[in-house]
Amino acid sequence: MRDNPYIKRELIRRVAKYIVGRRREILAIIAALAAGKNVLLEGPPGTTKSTILRVIAKESGVPFYMVEGSADLTPQKLIGIFNPAHVLKKGYKAEYFEPGPLFRAMKEGGILYIEEFNRMSEDAANVLIRAMEEREIVVPRLGIIKAKPSFRVIAGMNPYDDIGTSRVSRAIMDRFCRLRLDYQSREEEIEIVKIRTKCGQEWLIELAVDLTRATRTHPAVKMGASVRGAIDMVLIVEYLQKLKREELKFEDIYDAAVLALSSKIWMKDPDKTPEDIIKELLEEILKRKSHNSSKKNRGFFRNEYIEEKLRDEIEYLLYLSKVSPLRASLLLENNIPDLLGHGMTNNEINVLELYSRTYSYLRRKQKYLAKKYATGLILRITSRSIHKHLGGKIITDSFDWDSDDIDLDRTLEELVERGTLDIQHLKVYKRDRRDRLYALIIDRSFSMSGIKIIIAAIVAASLAYATPWNRYSIIAFNTEIEFIKKALEYIPREIIIDRILDLTPEGYTDIARAIKEAHKHLVENGALETIGILITDGQWTWGESPLKYAPIFTKLHVIGVPSKWRGFAKAIATYGHGEFILTRDVKAALDTLPLLLS
Q: Are 376 and 409 in the same domain?
A: no
Q: Are 202 and 280 in the same domain?
A: yes
Which strand (E) or helix (H) includes residue 587?
helix 586-590
Say yes or no to pLDDT of 200 above 50. yes
Task: Determine the angle formed by the axes of helices 202-215 and 274-290, rounding to 10 degrees.
Answer: 130
pLDDT, average across residues 339-355: 70
- How distant is the alpha carbon of residue 528 from its chain centre? 31
Q: State the pLDDT confidence band at 298, using cuts at 50, 70 and 90.
A: very low
Say yes or no to pLDDT of 64 above 80. yes
Residue after which a domain boundary falls, among 355, 388, 421: 388
**298 in a domain, yes or no?**
no
Q: State the pLDDT confidence band at 185, using cuts at 50, 70 and 90.
A: confident
Q: Are 240 and 128 in the same domain?
A: no
**351 in a domain, yes or no?**
yes
**155 in a domain, yes or no?**
yes
Say yes or no to pLDDT of 332 above 90. no
**61 in a domain, yes or no?**
yes
Q: Are 475 and 367 in the same domain?
A: no
Q: State the Cα–Cα distance between residues 376 and 343, nearest whole angstrom.
A: 10
Backbone angles phi, psi at 30, to 5 degrees: -65, -40
Q: Residue 488: its pLDDT value, please?
A: 84
Helix, strand, or coil (residue 130):
helix
Say yes or no to pLDDT of 362 above 70. yes
CB-based contacts of 234, cutoff 8 Å, min separation 6: 193, 197, 199, 201, 204, 205, 208
Domain count, the chain: 5
Q: Are 228 and 322 in the same domain?
A: no
Say yes or no to pLDDT of 134 above 80. yes
**150 in a domain, yes or no?**
yes
Q: Are 474 and 548 in the same domain?
A: yes
Highest mean pLDDT among 21-25, 417-421, 481-485: 481-485
Q: Residue 526: its pLDDT value, please?
A: 86
Query: CA torsion sign, 318 to 322 to 324 to 325?
Result: positive
Say yes or no to pLDDT of 17 above 90. no
**97 in a domain, yes or no?**
yes
How distant, in Å, are the alpha carbons of 19, 79, 102 from that of 64?
Answer: 18, 15, 11
pLDDT, average across residues 174-191: 87
Q: State the Cα–Cα distance between residues 594 and 78, nearest whole angstrom.
A: 27
Q: Are 76 and 171 in the same domain?
A: yes
**DSSP states of 453-522:** HHHHHHHHHHHHHHSGGG-EEEEEESSSEEEEE-TT----HHHHHHHHHT----S---HHHHHHHHHHHH
Q: Residue 220: its pLDDT value, please?
A: 82
Q: State the Cα–Cα distance between residues 30 and 35, nearest whole angstrom.
A: 8
The CATH number given to whatever domain includes residue 70 is 3.40.50.300
**DSSP states of 73-122:** --HHHHHEEE-HHHHHHH---GGGEEE-HHHHHHHHT-EEEEESGGGS-H
Backbone angles phi, psi at 67, to 5 degrees: -125, 140
pLDDT tens-digit series, residues 464-501: 766 656 788 999 999 999 999 998 888 888 888 888 88
Q: Are 404 and 427 in the same domain?
A: yes
Say yes or no to pLDDT of 130 above 70. yes
Q: State the pLDDT confidence band at 381, using cuts at 50, 70 and 90.
A: confident
Q: Residue 356: its pLDDT value, please?
A: 79
Q: Residue 550: its pLDDT value, please?
A: 94
**297 in a domain, yes or no?**
no
The CATH number given to whatever domain includes residue 507 is 3.40.50.410
Q: State the pLDDT confidence band at 369, using cuts at 50, 70 and 90.
A: confident
Q: Residue 595: its pLDDT value, please?
A: 58
Q: State the Cα–Cα distance between residues 416 and 238, nearest whole angstrom.
A: 66
The neighbouring-strand residues paired with 557 are: 533
The neighbouring-strand residues paired with 438 are: 472, 531
Say yes or no to pLDDT of 295 above 90. no
To the nearest whole number, what is the mean pLDDT of the chain?
80
> Percent of the chain having pLDDT more than 70?
81
Q: Left (φ > 0), alpha (ψ -120 to 50) or beta: where does 124 sit? A: alpha
Q: Residue 2: its pLDDT value, please?
A: 58
Of 525, 527, 470, 518, give the one whose Cα is nearest residue 493: 470
DSSP state of 331: H
Residue with the bigger pLDDT between 87 and 559: it is: 559
Q: Are 380 and 398 in the same domain?
A: no
pLDDT tens-digit series, residues 91-129: 778 888 888 899 999 989 899 998 888 777 777 888 888
Q: Residue 411: its pLDDT value, please?
A: 66
Q: State the Cα–Cα distance between residues 180 and 156, nearest whole angstrom.
A: 10
Q: Are 316 and 426 in the same domain?
A: no
Q: Are 256 and 196 in the same domain?
A: yes
**12 in a domain, yes or no?**
yes
Residue after which a domain boundary falls, among 122, 151, 180: 180
Cβ pair 418, 381 in contact under 8 A: no
pLDDT, average across residues 169-174: 76
Residue with the bigger pLDDT between 278 and 167: it is: 278
Residue after which a domain boundary falls, among 290, 325, 347: 290
pTM of the model: 0.57
Residue with the bigger pLDDT between 371 and 111: it is: 111
pLDDT tens-digit series, residues 429-438: 655 545 788 8
Q: State the Cα–Cα distance between residues 375 and 328, nearest whole angstrom.
A: 20
Q: Which domain holds residue 330?
A: 304-388
Q: Residue 476: its pLDDT value, please?
A: 92
Residue with the bigger pLDDT between 376 and 495: it is: 495
Cβ pair 441, 514 in contact under 8 A: yes
The CATH number given to whatever domain includes residue 233 is 1.10.8
Q: Are 556 and 578 in the same domain?
A: yes
The neighbouring-strand residues paired with 482 are: 476
